[in-house]
Structure 1
């Protein structure tokens, strides 16, 4: 079940921070960069991020989360995280599809990940995202921004 995470509920925000720490430590290891910004978050920085967070729950346990920001022209998927106990069970795919459904048909969707984060790169490519830009974030470390246009509704 996917539902919005209430960042004003201390229990929910602490569960989210624990998941984020576990998830982004794995990405940090994959890409060889320990300074990933989400590793430095606190309840306050999450609340102040302007992002909407949604959690994937299995038996009331937070198995994964996605966060988004939406402007009139695009939806940005800011964070995607899955607890390692739930890897390869479709959690990331479910969260990605959920986030995409928030976009207005025809709207640009953006997501980024460390270029060396093969599981994330493969996920985004599988769902039709194309690499749009690569940015240097530290010596030898790059971030790839992927884009996709939200599909038109079948009801038109």
Structure 2
């Protein structure tokens, strides 16, 4: 079940942060990142964020979260994470389908580590195309993908 998460509530923000931390620890290893800025994100940044958070609940447990910034002329998928215990169960796909069907946006944008093959494969399946690559200050190669439906 997917539902909007009330990230202003500190206990919910803490649950969101836990899923992000667990998922990003795996991604940091995948990217061979010594310094991975998403792992430094504070609880307050979740609870005070103006972004929308949608969670996938499985057996009453928060299994995945998608964070989006929806503006009038675009939707930016800020983050898409799945708790490691729930990898390879289609949760990321279902969260993507939910957002793409909920928001009528042109374009959708997302960024990830260039070495994050599972994430890139998922975005490509949904019609995203790579538009840019660059190196971050922390030494991580990133990629931006856009999805434009005409």
TMscore range, shorter length:
over 0.9
Q: 1:24–1:39: 8 Å Cα contact kept in structure 2? A: yes
Q: 2:51–2:68: 8 Å Cα contact kept in structure 1? A: yes
Match of 1:40 in 2: 40
Q: 1:36-82 deviations in whole A, cap 9, x for unaligned?
A: 33211222111333211110001110000000001121100000000
Q: Could you tell me how far 1:102 is from its partner in structure 2?
A: 3.0
The whole-number CA distance in structure 1 between the counterparts of 2:102 and 2:39 is 26
Which ranges of structure 1 fall in alignment gaps of 5 or more residues? 152-156
TM-score by structure 1 length? 0.89
The whole-number CA distance in structure 2 between the counterparts of 1:50 and 1:97 is 22
Moved over 4 A (4+): none
Match of 1:2 in 2: 2
Q: 1:25–1:39: 8 Å Cα contact kept in structure 2? A: yes
TM-score by structure 2 length? 0.92
Which ranges of structure 2 fall in alignment gaps of 5 or more residues? none
Q: 1:74–1:103: 8 Å Cα contact kept in structure 2? A: no
- SS of 2:63's partner is strand
| RMSD of aligned residue pairs (Cα, Å) | 1.6
